Chains A and B, each alone.
Chain A
Amino acid sequence: MTASIHTGPVQRPRRRPNKSRRAETRMALLFVAPAILLVLVFRIIPLLWGFGISLTSATATAPGEFIGAGNYLRALNDPNFIASIANAGIILLSVPVFITIPMILAILIDQGVPGRGFFRSVYFFPVVLSSVIIGSIFSIVLGFNGSLNALLKFVGLPGVDWLGRSATALPVTLAIQSWSTFGMGVLIFLAGLSTVPKDMVEAARLEGAKMWQIWWHVIIPSLRPIIEFSTVITTIGLLTSMFGLIYVLTGGGPGTATTVPEYLIWSAQGRLNQPSYASALSIILFVITGALAWLQIRMMSRNTNL
């Protein structure tokens, strides 16, 4: 995460007195303390606790007994879990699309495309609505006798059971997820674009740079931290927040076509009363997500100061 202005590490003036440095450390820790405390109590400790549960055979009403890695071994042998991991892999391939489209839209709006006030407002509407409503609408639209197939029949093409056939279920679900969340990405990129130095853009334009050159050489590099942020957030979101939409659209099916790890976790916890298995799956998902995020951050911020 680095500003585009610097070319090397910041030079520290050596005249800084130690007292000021200690004060800075104290204040900094004070600033960070509330965040750390809340996260520790409500997220980290429950995570470790959940890890503890994953080593037992607990149900909702019985503490069960210690079974060590039993749940994890079960997960590795569970064809549904393996399928869900494969689906997660496919989903991750679509991350670049989830980033690029909002970014381009945001840049267009920032650059003054006609109607930008309208776009800025309405693009966010799908984000506001819960996935239940969106899922319900598209369930009907994409049903075999729904609007999309009616349109296709009108132009002479055969209808497809979009959500009922294994080959189309996942791509269609991803498309809907993209449609219902791109507004958030546009918002974030718009905020990031406000930090792009306008005078640099003007200077480049005055020097005769074409539009796409300005984009590629000035705007997008300034957006580096936001792109990285968006990539990580999108990855995490796709892996941990698609449940609501999938539940209404396809119920995880057909077969395991749209079963994602998050769905199996919910199913184990809520339908099968196996919270210990759900915990184990959650820990596995957490490790995978963490590894991915770490990789992404490493790849993207090569000259990071952090």
Chain B
Amino acid sequence: MHKLKLMAAVAAVFVATPALAQEITVWDVNVSRNPTYYDAAKAAFEKAHPGATLNFVGQPDAEYYNLLNTALASKTGPDVIWANGGAQAKNLVGGLLPLNDKLPDLIKSIVGQSAFTVDGKLYFIPFTLQGHVAYYNKDMYKAVGLDPEKPPTTWAEVTKMCDTFKAAGKACFMMANKEGYEAEFFLSEMANQSLTAQQQADWASGKLHWSDAPIKAILQTWVDTYKNGWYQEGGNSQTMFLDEFTLFEQGTAANVWGLLSNVAHWKAFEKDMGADKVGVYPMPSPTVASDQHEGSPGVPLDGGVGYGVNKDSAHIDLALDAIKTLLSPEVLSVLVNDAGIVPANTAVDVSSIPSPGLKQIMGWLATRSVPTTHANASAAELDEWHRQSQALLNGDITVDAAAAALDKVQAQAKPQK
């Protein structure tokens, strides 16, 4: 009897405790990087909910998903979870609350949802949009006699540009494939015009295979551009973040495939190089699909990073409010101004940001956004592509063999009914 009473008392302590301290915990990896955003969110949330605290815990980036998976499996996860859009977010949905009917008003003004949607249900709300474009060094263009205000708009122009740089002994594009990210970006950039909308959808569902013509052509282009000497030497062991972009800024290559939000983007390049020394253009693809237009390459665009709610959270309502706060125009604009992101919340106004690059980009996003092909591949395929892309550059494997290996992984990750 004593034992039962003791157990009940202990249990009461553990049950009572969460209700006493209303603390919403958010796990994120960028807390020390963008402190103003988190401070603003915390202030706004705590003002609206007296007695509750919003607690941001910065997690080590390398261990984040390992930690998160372990925590979810042992029910010790946070209330609000940050995740990268694409494969990583989709892997986690088993532990998250579908948000479609929880935050309908907010979701109405959010774009880039597909990176966080599985089977029609939205599990994370994106707050940044991430996309892929090419940035170029105007001084280097000038030095080899190219017009710095006329970046290439077709593949033929790209080839001509790269031949010019090659003749001048300069690298045309940056290559940084140690972590495999360059290969991922390459996939999306090359697919932006060469896949029809239907093919992009088939790719997402696993029906379009690596060994099918459109994708295999991209693998071949990967090898061919390397053999043609487009890239600087040692690209296979070059780290992308942040070395590649620093090297680009220092003039190692004339062009680099960069991003739209947070890093390797218009804000960073314009700040480090000067707004008049760097330009941006959407990357043309080698072939142009039937529903695409030659001369108007698209911008692969999707949700960048987002927040979701742990379905085992003890404070679901407060967690949802926290997300609303984090994505509100007042708070999100702090991130826009300080870190330079393209917000996923269309209610946030970016027209006052004094960046020529951003203005061009927003124009393209309005009419030319396409799916981000690599974000629609499974984590296992991307892992394998990481390996195969390095082997392809080293000449250790043929395109056919690589495609076959990738198909095998794809079949396992996305079994077709």
Expressed in whole angstroms, the Cα–Cα distance for A102 and B239 within the complex equals 32
Q: Are B180 and A251 in contact (CB under 8 A)?
A: yes
Distance in Å: Cβ of A82 to nearest Cβ of chain B: 12
Q: Are A270 and B237 interface neighbours, CB within 8 A?
A: no
**Which of A15-23, A34-42, A161-169 is found at the contact surface with chain B?**
A161-169
Chain A residues 234 to 271 lying within 8 A of chain B, measured CB to CB, are: 247, 250-256, 259, 266-267, 269-271
A25 to chain B, nearest CB (A): 34
**Given A60-B70, A254-B391: A163 touches B383 (CB 8 Å cut-off):** no
B90-98, B138-146, B329-337: which lies at the A interface? B90-98
* Chain A residue contacts of B73, Cβ below 8 A: 58, 60-61, 275
Q: Are B66 and A266 in contact (CB under 8 A)?
A: yes
- Cross-chain contact A164 with B234 (CB below 8 angstroms): yes
A253 with B91, Cβ < 8 A, contacts A60-B70, A139-B239, A273-B69 known: no
Which A residues are CB-close (under 8 A) to B91?
Answer: 59-60, 272-273
Decide if A126 is an interface residue (CB 8 Å cutoff).
no
Q: How far apart sit A269 and B238, CA to CA, in the bound complex (Å)?
A: 26
Contact across chains for A166 and B233 when beta carbons are under 8 A apart: no
Q: Given A61-B73, A251-B179, A255-B388, A267–B383 Cβ distance below 8 Å?
A: yes
**B178 and A163 within 8 A (CB):** yes
Shortest CB-to-CB span from A198 to chain B, Å, is 48
Find chain A residues with CB under 8 A from B396 CB: 166, 254-255
Which A residues are in CB contact (< 8 Å) with B233? 144-145, 159, 161
Question: Does chain A have a CB within 8 A of B235?
Answer: yes
A79 neighbours in B (Cβ, 8 Å): 405
- B62 an interface residue at 8 Å Cβ cutoff? yes
A78–B239 Cα distance when bound, in Å, is 27
Q: Is B41 an interface residue (CB 8 A)?
A: no
Contact of B235 among A59, A164, A250, A259 (CB under 8 A): A164
Decide yes or no: A269 and B387 within 8 Å by CB, A144-B238, A145-B234, A250-B178 being known contacts. Answer: no
Measured CB to CB, the closest approach of chain B to A165, in angstroms, equals 6
Give residues in A with beta carbon < 8 Å to B.
58-62, 79-80, 139-140, 142-145, 159, 161-166, 169, 247, 250-256, 259, 266-267, 269-273, 275
Interface of B toward A, CB cutoff 8 Å = 62-63, 65-66, 68-70, 72-73, 88, 91-95, 178-180, 232-239, 243, 379-380, 383-384, 386-388, 390-391, 393-394, 396-397, 405
Q: Which 3 A-B pairs have the closest CB atoms?
A: A144-B234, A61-B94, A164-B237
Question: Can you offer 13 A-B residue contacts whose CB atoms are under 8 A?
Answer: A59-B94, A60-B69, A60-B95, A80-B384, A139-B178, A166-B394, A253-B387, A255-B396, A255-B397, A259-B387, A266-B66, A269-B70, A273-B92
Known pairs A162-B237, A164-B237, A164-B394 / 7 extra A-B pairs, C-beta < 8 Å? A139-B178, A143-B237, A145-B233, A164-B234, A251-B180, A254-B387, A271-B383
